[in-house]
Structure 1
């Protein structure tokens, strides 16, 4: 290994250490200089400028979380389909069969979620 490569690692290590020290110093100074007086307004739940009504601890139906997870899963799958479409001409029939299988699995997952009643919003 040449000396110039070792110098590069040294610079990266120094930069990493400097960043770590900067974060520690900035956090320490913020804790020392920041006011710590708790008032009623500071302890109140913030709801976009509106006066909060009731408790902030509300239990949402589980279906909302599952619906959100389905959205994220299908949203990420679109990224895979788009990247496949970009290199479609380079792939042979095997690549086409792979994406067809992928879409079939996605469709089966959607049908399963639909039958379980998860795909309904309310």
Structure 2
């Protein structure tokens, strides 16, 4: 008897019509967004003033006239600081969901071991950075 009811529900097209309505709404929103961007770029192209001069064609960098070579040296430690930031940002993103799952019943020891393992990996990375002298500002 139950299988007959599920077959009748599956055969009824009115039951599943709400499913595709959600996709249609998302598709319409995507089309409106693309049209909005296209209209904005077209209006910008049509309304902007077009006056070329030699000064406008020069390379511009922070309001300073470009002088010297076109090759600049960047210290690698700035990239290391960026990598350290990414490590701790991922840590913060991982800690909040872990805390909410850990508060639920039945997730005690497994999630606790998981988090200590994760924090251990971060501690090893931080210790490595400290030993290499990355964390010094001199």
TM range (shorter): 0.7 to 0.9
Question: Residues 63 and 118 of structure 1 are in contact (CA less than 8 Å); yes or no, is this contact kept in structure 2?
Answer: yes
- Output the CA distance in 1 between the equivalents of 2:20 and 2:97: 37
Question: Residues 64 and 121 of structure 1 are in contact (CA less than 8 Å); yes or no, is this contact kept in structure 2?
Answer: no
Q: Which residue of 2 aligns with 1:52?
A: 64
> Which of residues 54, 64, 79 is equivalent to 1:65?
79
Deviation (angstroms), 1:120: 2.2
The alignment of Structure 1 onto Structure 2 pairs a total of residues equal to: 119
Q: Which has the larger radius of gyration?
A: 2
> Which of residues 123, 131, 135 is equivalent to 1:107?
123
Deviation (angstroms), 1:46: 5.8
> Which of residues 20, 28, 45 is equivalent to 1:31?
45
What stretches of structure 1 of length at least 5 have no aligned partner? none
- Output the CA distance in 1 between the equivalents of 2:119 and 2:43: 53
Specify the SS of the correspondent of 1:29: helix
User: Could you give the per-residue CA deviations for residues 21-64 of structure 1, whole angstroms, max 9, x where no partner exists?
Assistant: 222122122112211224436856363xxx52655964320111
TM-score normalised by the chain length of structure 2: 0.66
Q: Which residue of 2 aligns with 1:92?
A: 108
Q: Which has the higher contact order (CA 8 A, sep 6+)?
A: 1
Question: Residues 59 and 66 of structure 2 are in contact (CA less than 8 Å); yes or no, is this contact kept in structure 1?
Answer: no
- Output the CA distance in 2 between the equivalents of 1:81 and 1:11: 35
